[in-house]
Amino acid sequence: MANTSMNYINRELSWLEFNQRVLDEAHDPEIPLLERLKFLAITSSNLDEFFMVRVGGLHLLQASGNKKADPSGMTPRETLDAVCLRAHQMMVEQYQCLLKEIEPPLAAAGFQRVNPQELTDSQRRIVEHVFRDEIYPVLTPMAVTSDMDFPFLINQTLNLVVRLAPDEKGKGKAKTGKDRFAIIPFGRNEFRFITLPSEGGYQYLPMEDAICLFIEQYFQGEHVLECIPFRVTKNAYVSLQDEFASDLLHQMEDMLDQRKQGDCIRLEIAESVSVETLEFLERGLGVLDENVYRIPGPLDLTAFMRLTEISGFDDQKDSNWPPQPSPEVNPRISMFENITRQDILLCHPYESFEPVVRLVEEAAVDPDVLAIKQILYRTSKHSPIVAALIRAAEQGKHVTAIVELKARFDEARNIEWARNLEHAGVQVIYGVKGLKTHAKICCIIRREPHGIQRYLHFGTGNYNDATAKIYSDISYFTNNEVLASDAINFFNSITGYSTPQKYQKLEAAPISLRDKLLDLIHHETERKKQGQKARIVAKVNSLVDPEIIDALYEASEAGVKIKLNIRGICCLRPGVPKLSKNIEVVSIIDRFLEHARIFYFYHGGDERVFISSADWMPRNLDRRVELLVPIEEEKCHRKLIKILNSYFEDNAKARVLNSEGVYERITPNKEKNLVRCQQVLYEEAVAASRQAEKVGRTVFEPHMAPEDQ
């Protein structure tokens, strides 16, 4: 196989096409309006992180003079140019979607952003009251007399730039004849929208509109020429060299400070801005024209996510899909008894995350539990799992928590959790030097009548009870002795100085996971070459790694049928003759974020199926601590294969990637029923829960007299 740049799709452009698929959901008239607004907010949030990290990294490469091409053949400069063009196109489409497709029908339904000039007298009085009491005393304008005293602005927060007429009176200084400028930073203010009185429905006014309405109160006696909202995005691609760090926690705090000081790589500003004001900001921020995004509506669409949570307007929201209790988990007995009875595999958020939380909470107070070992990559703001670990330590149990301080944009929260855990007596490990610890595992060691028993939870998602309600992930509970032995060796290898072990069933990155995947792919290739049946099915968030892609190409050329469900980035080109004609790639964007990693290999009829924390990217396979977990217990094995296959039956939300890197919606065959994978998985969880409840009602359990004391 010729290894040419034409074999790969550029990573950054592939990511932008993923965000386009999210934006397509905001366009979809079949989706309720507030859900469409939510998807629009997600596209904005996604772009924020993309600019801070990926575009920020490209800027650093460009500034360093790096001209090395990526696997797709594009240099950093070429990639930046292509990204800039595509991002500008996407911004235009975002605001067309908001202003023309979402806001008008929302307003007709009684949910309206009010133009300042259209405020009623009573609404204007309310806005003036809010400005006088809650805004004017809090926000402070800062005069900017030269580029040298341009103020420090917080990343991705709103600001107002105010242009004042020249000081013709020469108050305090000599006349300059030049316009003067001031900036009003909003800071990290969660207060963005002012609720207005209305006779029905919900009306609101963005805070920046309110300030502009009464801006003269900040500059009494001056002539205000212009009041313009703007927002800066700074380069957050800060490299952390922790191999020689004596105090990683303090270095992480320093890194967060560096990130705040990053260069401005994107300026979003109201499109009505004058040439004079724009030039002033470009000079002060050091921004080029190509990095300026003129916005025809309210800035920071991410903030609109909060509007989707306003009570009422249920007809403009999705119907509720509450997580279901799994029939595999008996609520009347402990999680230890449940796991002893059988291995348990759950598919979140269709099946509740509560058993994961309950396992740790029960372990914290169980007198027979000796130790808890757990990896925490991302957690919720008020994490019940962290609280349980603290409680366990306070009760004298040996608790080890590997807290990954380098989890991007969760560093500050993880630093706080690490300190709280340490104060409670938890043994806290700050990951592994030079690597991110991304594996999802909890191991509980318990003393039982027959001896020591170890209970395990493996996951594809984080120990985050909040995101577990909106992310699609897999949980696996077991007390399998071989997996337990591997798990203990795994923890010892990353918390101590022991040499990484060769595990019996687990595979870990960056030691053996890549080789295991390649072996499994090559095994299918060789089987097919020998005329045997061969098949690969995989679900990942991203496929970037050239070595994995090349192995899949080789398998395809041998005739192996390959199906890939990839939510986000895919650098592989499917359907190319003499390269990838046997590879199909589908992507599903729906109400839940697809996050599970599931791998299937036919393996000569001895089907192998795995869950993993790792995507097929160099960072996961080479620079992170990850796990690949075989699911061998028959019932869980069958369930996982069924879940995986369901993603390729979707003809409602699935899009197919063609060889040009373009995603196309599947057009359902008129003779086939419409299949929406996430809805199918949820309805199956509901049916299973109801059936279990029905069976439970027919089982009579007598009250027994207490045993004689």
First to last CA, the chain: 78
| Residue at 689: amino acid letter | S
Q: Are 377 and 438 in contact (CB under 8 A)?
A: yes
Q: Which of 59, 348, 438, 595 is catalytic?
A: 438
Q: How far apart are CA 309 and CA 147, in angstroms?
A: 41
How many CA within 13 A on the CB side of residue 514? 18
Active site residue 438: yes
Are 7 and 573 in contact, with CB atoms under 8 Å apart? Answer: yes
The pair of three-digit structure tokens given for residue 531, joined into one six-digit string: 């005329």
DSSP-assigned beta bridge partners for residue 230: 159, 269
Which residue type, as a one-letter code, is found at position 359? L
Per the listing, tokens 């396992």 go with 359
- Would you tell me how many other CB atoms lie within 10 Å of the CB of residue 704? 6
What is the DSSP track for 256-313? HHHHHTPPEEEEEEETT--HHHHHHHHHHHT--GGGEEEESS-S-GGGGGGGGGSSS-
Residues with Cβ within 8 Å of residue 265, at least 6 apart in sequence: 51, 52, 55, 56, 59, 233, 234, 235, 287, 291
Q: 284-314 burial string, b = 16+ CB within 10 Å, else e?
A: bbebeeebbbebeebbbbbbbeebbeeeebe
Whole-angstrom CA distances from 13 to 9, 46, 445, 662 are 8, 14, 46, 11
Order of all β-strands in the sheet with 202-206: 111-113, 202-206, 193-196
Dihedral, CA atoms, 80, 84, 85, 86, nearest 10 degrees?
Answer: 100
Sign of CA dihedral 688, 694, 700, 702: positive
According to DSSP, the β-strands at 264-270 and 180-185 are: unpaired
- Cβ–Cβ < 8 Å for 321, 682: yes
CB crowding 498-519: b at 16 or more within 10 Å, else e: eeebebeebbbbbbbbbebbbe
| Whole-Å CA distances, 383 to 60, 431, 458 | 36, 19, 18
CB under 8 Å to 273, separation ≥6 — which residues? 226, 228, 230, 294
Helix (H, G, I), strand (E, B) or coil at 476: strand
What interhelical angle do 33-49 and 11-27 show, nearest 10? Answer: 160
What letter represents residue 162's amino acid? V
Closest CA to 14 of 686, 660, 460, 673: 660
Query: In this structure, are residues 440 and 375 in contact, taking their beta carbons and an 8 Å threshold?
Result: yes
The length of the chain is 709
CA distance 119 to 552: 60
Residues identified as active-site: 438
